[in-house]
Structures are given as C-alpha cells and as structure tokens.
C-alpha cells in the first residue's frame, strides 16, 4: 500500500516512515468523527480484494498447465461440496472427496502400488483464497521440487477444488503417501488476500485432526518467500520421517539449520542444546 506525499504547505505525516515498513493500518487519522476519505477508500478496496479472493473460482486447468510446464504430473479432484456456496456453508463436505474422485484415486493408488510408496504428496487446494493458490503455488512447488532430498519420492500434484485441509488426509491415504502437504489458500486478511498455507501430516488417513499436523503460514513474497518455505517444509518432512509423527510432537526448529549444516547435524546441535548439562547454572 502506497501513500501519496503531502501536498505543498502541509507538514509531512510523522507516521509515514513507519508505514513504509508494514502493511498494517497505522495512525489512520480522522476527519471530524470519521476516518479520512482516503483511508475509507483504501479499506473498501482491501475488503473487496478479500471477498474476491474467497469467491472467485480457481482456474484449475490453467494451474495444471503451469505445473505441467514445470515437469509435474497433475491430477484434478473435487470435494463433496458441489459449489462455492455449499462449500462455505458446509465445511464438512469440503473435507471429503466426491464419490467419483474417491473411486478414481483409489484406482490410481492401486496402479501405483509397486512397492515404492510416495514419500511426499502435494495437494493444492483452493481453500479460502483462490488468488493465493494462483499466485503462490507454482513458484512454491517449483522450489519444493528443486530442493527434494536424495531418495525422496514425490507423487503427482493433486489439484483439489472446494477443498479444506482435511481433504488431504483422504487423498494421501488413497494414494498410499507417507506424508501429505496441503498447499491451501488461507483466509484472506485486509492486507494479505493472497497468503498460502502449508499443512503437513504424517501417515494421512481420514480422521486426523489439526493437532497432528504442522503448519507453515503466510507463504508469499511479502511474508515467507517460496524458497524459504520449501526449505522449512523439507526440514519438517525429514524430522517427521525420523520421529514417525507430525503435529504437536514435532517442533519446528528449522531456523537452527545454518548454511552448510545438514538435518542430522542440526538435530545433534538441538539435542545438545536441550541437554540438562548444557543449561546454565543458577547463580
């Protein structure tokens, strides 16, 4: 959000320097008992952008074309919610596949049952911001693929419409994935209508809850850039495979990984730091 410089004769706003570093609405001022007209117009624009992010449908075909150009195999699915209005009113339907797509994925999973299970399955879901998916999913998936550790098997990218986070549990179970990462449009804010979230679940199956997932939020250039989000995701994936779980039992300490330090080295350093012998003595 940009602010026009003060006209001649009007002293500069002392808050302008701080506003240059944040999208938060600071010191909006007032005109009598109301907000200034310029701030009301900015608020109206932000509110309209947030509504559009929720209601504009995801162009799944265009997204699939972009991902295929990156070398991904894609597979479209739809939740049990038949349309957007139903999706918003019935969150439970967005957590399960339509019967047709459930059967198709089950058949696809049987075909892939070759003794080499998928280590990480990516599910791209429109969620509450199709804008976030359209903007952030392609560069994020490209970064994830580029950073794939040796020996890890990625599955096809599943593109899910009218989908909630838990839909990834059913998709992952049908395709026999060890881990599923749901890349989903987050609920838009008035300064971030295009924020993407990542929800990682070990051994996905219907009935998993949010306490059994790890979340990486605010993936967008103004928040967590794609390359950094991919690095954090892979750190969590490798820790999840080591521990056999995700969720509250897996603490995100990816920031402890420094340049040139692999995951095992990082784990050793974290364990040493948590050891009682390393704790400072009380005076």
One digit per residue, the tens of pLDDT, for the chain of length 283 reads 555 665 666 677 777 777 777 777 777 777 888 888 888 888 888 889 888 888 999 999 999 999 999 999 999 999 999 999 999 999 999 999 999 999 999 988 877 655 678 999 999 999 999 999 999 999 999 999 999 999 999 999 999 999 999 999 999 999 999 999 999 999 988 778 999 999 999 999 999 999 999 999 999 998 999 999 999 999 999 999 999 999 999 998 888 754 344 545 544 544 444 444 444 444 3
Q: Using CA atoms, how far apart are residues 202 and 242, in angstroms rounded to an integer?
A: 11
Residue ranges in the chain assigned as alpha helix (H): 16-19, 37-55, 60-69, 84-89, 99-111, 130-146, 167-174, 226-243, 263-274
Q: Using CA atoms, how far apart are residues 59 and 161, in angstroms rounded to an integer?
A: 9
pTM: 0.82
CB within 8 Å of 71: residues ≥ 6 apart: 145
């Amino acid at each position: 959000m940009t602010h026009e410089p003060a006209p001649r004769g009007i002293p500069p706003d002392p808050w302008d320097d701080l506003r240059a570093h944040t999208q938060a609405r600071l010191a909006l001022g007032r005109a009598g008992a109301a907000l200034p007209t310029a701030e009301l117009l900015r608020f109206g624009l932000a509110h309209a952008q947030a509504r559009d992010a929720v209601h504009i449908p995801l162009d799944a075909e265009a997204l699939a074309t972009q991902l295929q150009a990156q070398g991904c195999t894609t597979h479209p699915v739809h939740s049990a919610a038949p349309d957007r209005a139903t999706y918003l009113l019935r969150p439970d339907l967005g957590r399960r596949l339509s019967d047709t797509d459930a059967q198709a994925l089950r058949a696809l999973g049987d075909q892939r049952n070759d003794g080499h299970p998928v280590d990480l399955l990516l599910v791209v879901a429109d969620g509450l911001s199709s804008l976030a998916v359209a903007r952030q999913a392609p560069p994020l998936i490209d970064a994830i693929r580029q950073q794939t550790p040796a020996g890890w098997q990625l599955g096809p990218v599943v593109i899910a419409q009218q989908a909630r986070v838990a839909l990834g549990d059913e998709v992952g179970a049908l395709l026999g994935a060890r881990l599923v990462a749901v890349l989903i449009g987050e609920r838009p804010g008035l300064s971030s209508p295009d924020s993407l979230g990542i929800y990682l679940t070990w051994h996905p199956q219907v009935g998993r809850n949010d306490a059994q997932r790890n979340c990486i939020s605010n993936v967008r250039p103004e928040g967590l850039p794609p390359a950094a989000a991919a690095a954090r995701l892979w750190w969590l994936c490798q820790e999840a495979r080591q521990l056999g779980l995700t969720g509250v039992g897996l603490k995100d300490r990816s920031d402890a990984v420094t340049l040139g330090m692999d995951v095992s080295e990082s784990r050793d350093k974290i364990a040493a730091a948590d050891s009682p012998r390393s704790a400072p003595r009380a005076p």
